[in-house]
Structure 1
Amino acid sequence: MPHAQPRPFSLSTTGPLTGTITVPGDKSISHRSLMFAGLAVGQSRIHGLLEGEDVLASAAAMRAMGADIVRGDDGAWQVSGVGVGGLLQPATALDMGNSGTSTRLLMGLVASHPITVTFTGDASLSQRPMGRVVAPLSRMGADFTCAPGERLPLTMRGLCPAVPISYTLPVASAQVKSAVLLAGLNAPGITRVIEPVPTRDHTERMLRGFGADLTVEDGPEGRIISLRGEAELKPQTITVPGDPSSAAFWMVAASIVPGSDITIRNVGLNATRAGLVTALRMMGADIAEIDARDVGGEPVADLRVRHAPLRAIAVPPDLAPSMIDEYPVLFAAAARAEGRTVARGAEELRVKESDRIAAMAAALSACGARIEEYEDGLAITGTGGEPLPGPRSGGARIATHLDHRIAMSMAVAGLNAARAIEIDDARPIATSYPDFIATAERLGAEAHWPDQ
């Protein structure tokens, strides 16, 4: 990161948020675009790639394994792939920074190649468990040496040919599903993943777009995704839609700041990612879809969001897979709603960049919200539209735990708080949304840097 020391900050506003903005390219699609293009034979072009640190870690890793990846002067990325089965032995360990998605998906790619790769990461990533990916990839023939608790640093030795498997996901995880399917690209025969609970389906959509023989059908146990291995992927031109996880912060910000009226352009609305839109509308949010369209096989629309009073709901647990990354900012919205919101069924939040349930419970409690913590979520009694009181003790700062979504969610919570809600470090935001603070300022918010 460009700053060696933490950079505390806060956001505030004395009036409404207004304007039209775009958000960074979808992070999930950006990761997969680089990886799949890196396995295609020929040159792909990617427009709208998210240029945050997590995605750049994927680009660096694919370069280290032989793909030619460059950013053109026009902002488009050009990728010349090595072909399925063509990944090369990297000269050094692959540093994944804070990106769990990069790590788990790349583990899937490496599993069916005859190479040995060591994955390292920052302090946060090194605490995140990799066992849920290690288990199925081991069945396919990969061999692992991990730090205690199946954590990074992790060295894996791929097997070629790998063994195709049929694997039922024990937890709803698009990353685990994707890792198994990516390993299956270079395995002979059919690799199947059965997901009892549907998760984001970018991998399936994009692999078909690149020419893979992949089918999806419904069965008694859930969705069955079948991939024929030893695939030959064809280069593509990809336009990455705006990331709904990044748009989420502005949807909540406009909903809770009186008088706000903003439009967010080109937001991806894949049904497996749009759970927050559903939840906010249930709470009374005013979110209109404008110019709904299809871009590269993904549904996209502009979203106009206007301030509206929010009311508490019981968040349906079956929404969890389609909004798992948006729970922190949903918690911030619930803290401003009328009544007691209960959001459960999200135990996956315990093993994200931080324990997001504990982190948000502590942060919102410190700012005056009434919180009840469960193993799989929170109950939050809101202010009924009134600003949060803010930290009770002067100078208190919210701990981000190096988690970009905690930092941005609590910055949104503090937009019109009674006392400034200072976030302990802006640096983690660069992993997914480098322009977050600048975008807030364009909408009318003011950024404060207390240590400068």
Structure 2
Amino acid sequence: MSGHGPAIPMTSRPCGPLKGEAHVPGDKSISHRSLILGALSVGETRIEGLLEGDDVLATAEAMRAFGAEVEHLGPGEWRVNGVGVGGFAEPEDVIDCGNAGTGVRLIMGCMATTGITATFTGDASLRSRPMGRVTDPIALFGAASYGRDGGRLPMSVVGAADPVPVRYTVPMPSAQVKSAVLLAGLNAPGQTVVIEQEATRDHTERMLAGFGAEITVEDTDEGRVITLTGQPELKPQDIVVPRDPSSAAFPVCAALIVPGSDVLVPNIGLNPTRAGLFDTLRDMGANLTYENLREEGGEPVADLRARYSPDMHGIEVPPARAASMIDEYPILSVVAANATGQTVMRGVKELRVKESDRIEAMASGLRANGVNVEDGDDWWIVTGMGAGKVPGGGTAVSHLDHRIAMSFLCLGMAAQNPVSVDDGGPIATSFPIFEPLMTGLGAQLVRANR
């Protein structure tokens, strides 16, 4: 079982050119935060373009459980009538966050400074992931957490009835941890300060400001210092969610490695804390261009055009870029397998504790398809075979990880032989239209149970 129903084995066959427009779903990070901040506002927030994948739907259901009115109006259109900062009610039942690591960590943060108790669980993948990175800092506010050995779900969080503001240095580059602390700080008196030594995606800071919170960001010798004044009255917003760069990565990268391809991916958010993959691909010699650059809702946006790029070469990816592309290393390794020379990826220990151990999952799957991979604790190296030279023919284990499954299905589009994944079911957590979108461009994806 996948945790999303029965396993769905899938096979990707070598295909002809990918052509057309790929309209990917809304940004997952912004979708989660739109629902949460809408629930913490006083009044009605309207959201357009919300990603309606399983992860985000779990967050919507969680906000209902805490007392907010959350209504689905139509495809991508939602209404949230919030309860205000500190207004969460105690849930009557366990909060099931499915596969959503972002959702559960952010929700733990925003209820940690309210005097209520909530119990969280998730699917098998989420129950294996560490929560201590969030429960440790929210304890500084006065919250208490009780979970399984190793700080794993199921877990009950007892919120602080009399929270205190904190000053916290994030020990690892993690937007989830930073955001959880900032959300906890909303209902603490005085100023909560978060310091990150490496900048991570800044959607939370941008959106808090947009909802009316008093928040400042300053680059200092100590790091990036974010100061939030607690107990504001957040003002409801009308939000148009840009399309997800992490989802755009799959049609973009597939087009780069499938001969003759030319794919346009419209309306992609290019927040500099999220665009590291596209910078890296261009460094490798990819024919990837930005068209119609503009700004929407405070976020830079462009249409991406990706064309087949047979002359890409391996590079050493700057470790400082890791935080801006941490979710894209799996699909980058697929591109690296089709480039020439070695692609070296360092400073990526965070990949070991994602939905799966993504270094191990990708290394094993690439080796099963004839690609040479070396890996260590926080690094891995893919030796490229050149355009069209990946043998394929293997089966990769997805480990309940949507990005692993999608990456190997993209590999199969350009390999010499079909590539299979043991379970494509988890793809629905973040990219529910992946299969029809890619087949609409020309991919040949087959479900084994059809």
Q: Does TM-score exceed 0.5, indicating one fold?
A: yes
CA distances 1:319-376 after superposition (whole Å, capped 9, x unpaired): 1000000000001110111011111110000000000000000000000001101111
2:308 corresponds to: 307
1:340 corresponds to: 342
Alpha-carbon distance in 2 for matches of 1:18, 1:115: 52
| Residues 161, 188 of structure 1: 8 Å contact kept | no
2:400 corresponds to: 402
Which region of structure 1 is more displaced relative to structure 2, 410-419 or 200-209?
410-419
| Residues 276, 325 of structure 2: 8 Å contact kept | yes
1:426 Cα deviation after fit: 1.3
- Match of 1:448, SS state, is strand
5 Å matches for 1:318-329? 318-329=320-331
1:32 corresponds to: 33
1:231 corresponds to: 232
1:451 corresponds to: 449
5 Å matches for 1:233-248? 233-248=234-249
5 Å matches for 1:68-79? 68-73=69-74, 75-79=76-80
Residue 83 in 1 paired to residue 81 in 2? no
Alpha-carbon distance in 2 for matches of 1:92, 1:431: 22
Alpha-carbon distance in 2 for matches of 1:375, 1:75: 40
- Match of 1:124, SS state, is helix
Summarize the Cα distance change of 1:150–1:2 in structure 2 as closer, same or farther, 3 Å threshold: closer
1:433 corresponds to: 431
1:156 corresponds to: 157
| Residues 5, 425 of structure 2: 8 Å contact kept | no
Partner AA of 1:133 in structure 2: V
CA distances 1:173-214 after superposition (whole Å, capped 9, x unpaired): 000000000000000000000001000000000000000000
1:280 corresponds to: 281
Partner AA of 1:207 in structure 2: L
Residue 298 in 1 paired to residue 306 in 2? no
1:107 Cα deviation after fit: 0.6
1:370 corresponds to: 372
| Residues 9, 448 of structure 1: 8 Å contact kept | yes
Summarize the Cα distance change of 1:74–1:367 in structure 2 as closer, same or farther, 3 Å threshold: closer
1:9 corresponds to: 10
CA distances 1:352-411 after superposition (whole Å, capped 9, x unpaired): 0000000000000000001101111211111111231113xxxx5210000000000111
Which contiguous aligned blocks of 4+ residues in structure 1 show a shift greater than 6 angstroms?
A: none
Alpha-carbon distance in 1 for matches of 2:383, 2:14: 23
Alpha-carbon distance in 2 for matches of 1:91, 1:404: 30
2:413 corresponds to: 415
1:208 corresponds to: 209
Alpha-carbon distance in 1 for matches of 2:76, 2:443: 28
1:76 Cα deviation after fit: 1.2
1:99 Cα deviation after fit: 0.6
TM-score, normalised relative to structure 2: 0.98
The number of equivalent residue pairs is 448
2:111 corresponds to: 110
Alpha-carbon distance in 1 for matches of 2:209, 2:406: 34
1:3 Cα deviation after fit: 6.9
Partner AA of 1:72 in structure 2: L
| Residues 13, 444 of structure 1: 8 Å contact kept | no
| Residues 15, 258 of structure 2: 8 Å contact kept | no
| Residues 24, 243 of structure 1: 8 Å contact kept | yes
1:92 corresponds to: 93
Which region of structure 1 is more displaced relative to structure 2, 442-451 or 30-39?
442-451
1:19 corresponds to: 20
CA distances 1:61-106 after superposition (whole Å, capped 9, x unpaired): 0000001011113641000000001000000010011111011000
CA distances 1:13-60 after superposition (whole Å, capped 9, x unpaired): 431101012111000000000000001000010000000000001000
| Residues 14, 416 of structure 2: 8 Å contact kept | no
1:258 corresponds to: 259
The gaps in structure 1 that reach 5 residues or longer are none
| Residues 160, 187 of structure 1: 8 Å contact kept | no
- Match of 2:314, SS state, is coil
| Residues 51, 76 of structure 2: 8 Å contact kept | no
2:381 corresponds to: 379
Which of 384, 390, 393 is matched with 1:388 structurally? 390
Alpha-carbon distance in 1 for matches of 2:190, 2:249: 40
Which region of structure 1 is more displaced relative to structure 2, 370-379 or 321-330?
370-379
- Match of 2:74, SS state, is coil
Alpha-carbon distance in 1 for matches of 2:260, 2:300: 29
Partner AA of 1:407 in structure 2: A
1:10 Cα deviation after fit: 1.6
1:121 corresponds to: 122
| Residues 270, 299 of structure 1: 8 Å contact kept | yes
Residue 351 in 1 paired to residue 353 in 2? yes
Partner AA of 1:441 in structure 2: T
- Match of 1:191, SS state, is strand
Residue 219 in 1 paired to residue 220 in 2? yes
TM-score, normalised relative to structure 1: 0.97
Alpha-carbon distance in 2 for matches of 1:74, 1:441: 21
1:439 Cα deviation after fit: 0.6
1:419 Cα deviation after fit: 1.6
Percentage of identical aligned residues = 55
- Match of 1:230, SS state, is coil
CA distances 1:402-439 after superposition (whole Å, capped 9, x unpaired): 00000001110110212211111111000000000101
1:173 corresponds to: 174
- Match of 2:154, SS state, is strand
| Residues 368, 395 of structure 2: 8 Å contact kept | no
1:161 Cα deviation after fit: 2.8
Alpha-carbon distance in 1 for matches of 2:260, 2:72: 40
The gaps in structure 2 that reach 5 residues or longer are none
Summarize the Cα distance change of 1:83–1:77 in structure 2 as closer, same or farther, 3 Å threshold: same
Partner AA of 1:210 in structure 2: F
